[in-house]
Amino acid sequence: MPQLAFDITFFAELPKLQPTVRKGVLEAWEKFDRLTLDQLFKDPGLKLESLTHANDKQIRTIRIDQFWRGVVLAPTTGDTFVLLRVMAHDKAIAWAKKQKSSINEVTRAVEIRDAATLDAITPAYEQVARTSSKARLFAAFSDGDLRALGIDDETLRQARSLVDTEQLEIFAPLLPQDQREVLQYLAAGCTVEEVWQEIVAPALQASVQPVDTQDYETAIRHTRARIALITAPEELRDILEKPFAAWRIFLHPSQRKVAYRASYSGPAQVTGGPGTGKTVVALHRVKHLLGHLRDGDRILLTTYTNALVNALRSGLESLVEDAELRERVDISTVDGFASRVVAEAPGAVALRPLMNNEEESRWGKAAKATGFTGSAQFLSQEYRHIVLAQDIRTLADYEAADRRGRGSRLTAAERPLVWETIERFTAGLAADGARTWLQTCAQAARQLEEKGPQYRHVVVDEAQDLHPAQWRLLRAAVPARPDDLFIAGDPHQRIYDSKVSLKSLGIKVTGRSVKLRKNYRSTQEILRWSTALLIGRPIAQLEDEGRNDTLLGYRSALHGDGPALHAAATEEAELDALVTQVRAWTEAGIGAGEIGVSARFNKTCAKAVARLKDAGIPAATLRAADAAGEVTTVRVGTMHSFKGLEFRCVAVIGVTEDALPFPKAVTPPDVDAKQHETDLMSERCLLFVACTRARDGLYVSWSGEPSPFLVQAGV
Ligand SMILES: Nc1ncnc2c1ncn2[C@@H]1O[C@H](COP(=O)(O)OP(=O)(O)OP(=O)(O)O)[C@@H](O)[C@H]1O
């Protein structure tokens, strides 16, 4: 029976295709499903045509509608076809003629390359390389090493003609996919062993040697990272209606390896820069764990903010169809989980969570009562980073506490007074029926430590910002057994001041840690620009704070425009410019619901919402839009609330010198020098997080003087 499979490049372009064209794709698929091979080739409506002067007679086109054509890999043997791209008629024919298919002898996957363009440009690069004073880009790697990684003779010749990464970027979109990836990783500084481990090995399956490079039927089925076989029309309809849901079907080998590994002997970790699919992997891991759950066992899927909880919930709904199975997963913020545990305790008294702005005055009052002359900020941080972090409950424990992480000196003689002040603060809270979120987490952790765990597995997303009290809670929520904790996070996106490492918490992930490097969200141009905000800044690992993480090899295969920057004279003019930008996006066909606007402060967000609405553009704050289930308005939110989200286009506004870093969010060096550095870094990461939410379009604006972070990044 013939079958039409789909290549990932088709999915990447799907959001840009009109509904009528998508319908045409569905109809074409149905024909492949219905007709015999002979009928397919003769069908006058489908026009499964070969092309004259084609580089590969296996590449053909089909008719989608009057103006659109699909480019199809139509192997001469077997009856599985692959839809590679859908393009306007002339473009499709021109593109199709240049492509050539092959089967990678190492990864056994089908690859497509733009053979015509590669043939045309390579001699010129060879010529330049011969006279260049630069060493060849891949001089450090032998032909044997490159071949072992799946580089074939043609690609080898092309790779040998390159002298720098800029040239590789020009070649990259033309190269066969697996080979392109190998070369990009090597060029980024990865070793042959690393590339083998991360790209080649996960793609391999136990299969017979040697590879039959003519057996496309087998190779297509083997190319699971890029080619999807769809068996039912409902499945395809669902995919066509949810154009951003390719992640449900395709997983990069490195993602699949970590998500579907049968079992981990202990806690496992996945890290990677923004948009590398950590959340996707966490969701697939939940799916895997659900498939092996024993009766009565449950899973906790947890993250940082309510907006992310919503995103996880809808992600899991798309991935796991069986509602009964989904019922076995509790999805909640860590704080929400803590509140539930505390509320469920016998005799629990409902306490109200303390507002952020209340805390400072309460510390002030406690200090006045005890005569402590230090700042409220010092006390609040001491409570958070020492007392709650180390679960200190007595003066004796506090006197013995390790304060090495703090940059403020405190003599032994001063500790009793600080402790007395802290006790005053907590007693005041108790008397008023109030609590802080972290206190709740600490209490919930204690309760679970006594009562015993509630879950068989805990899966954590956005792990980089969790406080030790929250980690203690999660640790206590699940027994220490294989597959207990699965942790996804990115230290480059730490935007709160809980700089802890898993090692210091006794959560050992050594040997069970994988780093993802391929960004699926943003264009390479947006990525390169955003990453410059962090370049040269040491970022402590999630696993071990004594070691730094890097974004080595981090890149995107998507291309587009770089960010648009706008300097305005006044805030009013900046808001006008925002309206112009958002209007330009909507006029270009981008739905209002695909646009996000982010600012450092709530008040700037409120102004942006009002101004957009005045201009007739539907807009709402993130919270209001989420509460109303509204998906057709521009969503406006603080940079903190944008964590983990993504939009097709993002405007980051108010990036001025007094907003980023925001002085009030940065501890003065004389209060605590170490905290000062950590806070500055968090502010820098905050801008990085906001900018990396964008898929296709990023716009950054400020009024007056720009943020020093922009200036330092060379903007
Ligand atoms: N294998 C894949 N194929 C296609 N799309 C993918 C794949 N993996 C991830 N994506 C897409 O990339 C985008 C980013 O994924 P995801 O949100 O999981 O990344 P992340 O690493 O958690 O990002 P961040 O740290 O910035 O929150 C999403 O749109 C997701 O659908």
Cα 396 to Cα 411: distance, rounded to the nearest angstrom:
15
Compute the mean pLDDT over every residue in the chain, rounded to the nearest whole number. Answer: 91
- Tokens of residue 163, six digits: 């002298």
Match 């001041």 to its residue by tokens.
Answer: 497
The encoded tokens of residue 561 equal 């425009």
Q: Where are the beta strands (DSSP E) in 304-403?
A: 329-333, 352-353
List the binding residues: 272-279
Distance in Å, CA 6 to ligand 1 centroid: 19
Nearest ligand 1 atom, CA 489:
25
Residue 346's pLDDT band, with cuts at 50, 70 and 90, is confident
> For residue 702, which of 659, 639, 640 has the smallest C-alpha distance?
659
pLDDT reported for residue 152 = 97
End-to-end CA distance of the chain: 57
> What is the strand order of the sheet 457-460 is part of?
329-333, 299-303, 457-460, 485-489, 268-272, 513-516
Report the nearest-CA residue for atom 15 of ligand 1.
277
Integer Cα distance of 480 and 477 in angstroms: 10
* Among 37-41, 85-89, 548-552, 680-684, the least confident range: 548-552
Query: What pLDDT is recorded for position 545?
Result: 77
Residues contacting ligand 1 via CB (< 6 Å): 244, 246-247, 250-252, 255, 272, 274-280, 490, 493, 520-521, 644, 646, 692
Ligand 1 centroid vs 644 CA: distance in angstroms?
10
Supply the residue whose CA is at minimum distance from atom 1 of ligand 1.
Answer: 251
Q: Of the residues 247, 461, 487, which should be mutated to test ligand 1's pocket, given the most ligand atoms within 8 Å of the CB?
A: 247
Percent of the chain with pLDDT over 70: 99
Interface predicted TM-score of the whole assembly (ipTM), two decimals? 0.99
Mean pLDDT of 32-57: 91
Distance CA 434, CA 353 (A): 6
CB 496 within 8 A of CB 526: no
Question: Which of 344-348, 413-417, 614-618 shows the highest mean pLDDT?
Answer: 614-618
Q: Is 411 helix (H, G, I), strand (E, B) or coil?
A: coil
In the predicted model, is pLDDT for residue 516 greater than 80? yes
Q: What is the pLDDT of residues 260-303, one digit of tens each?
A: 999 999 999 999 999 999 999 999 999 999 999 999 999 999 99
Beta strands in 224-353 (DSSP E): 227-228, 268-272, 299-303, 329-333, 352-353
Judge contact between 497 and 679, C-beta under 8 A. Answer: yes
Asked if the model's pLDDT at residue 205 lies above 80, the reply is no
**pTM score, whole prediction:** 0.85
> Residues 469-481, buried b or exposed e (16+ Cβ, 10 A)?
bbbbbbbbbbeee
C-alpha 244 – ligand 1 centre gap (Å): 10
Contacts 24+ apart (CB under 8 A), 36-45: 36/2, 37/2, 37/79, 40/2
Ligand 1 centroid from CA 658, angstroms: 32
Predicted pLDDT at 162: 96
In sequence order, the 6+-apart residues with CB closer than 8 A to the CB of 450 are none
Asked if the peptide bond before residue 210 counts as cis, ω within 30 degrees of 0, the response is yes
Closest CA to 618 of 675, 579, 652: 579
Distance 18 CA to ligand 1 centre (A): 24
pLDDT tens-digit series, residues 647-699: 999 999 999 999 999 999 999 998 888 889 989 999 999 999 999 999 999 99
Please tell me the residue having the least CA distance from ligand 1 atom 27.
Answer: 644
Distance of alpha carbon 570 from alpha carbon 702, whole angstroms: 8
- Six token digits for residue 144: 């044997």
Q: What is the pLDDT, as a whole number, of residue 120?
A: 95
Q: How far is CA 365 from the centre of its chain?
A: 43
Q: Largest Cα–Cα distance in the chain?
A: 92
pLDDT of residue 209: 67
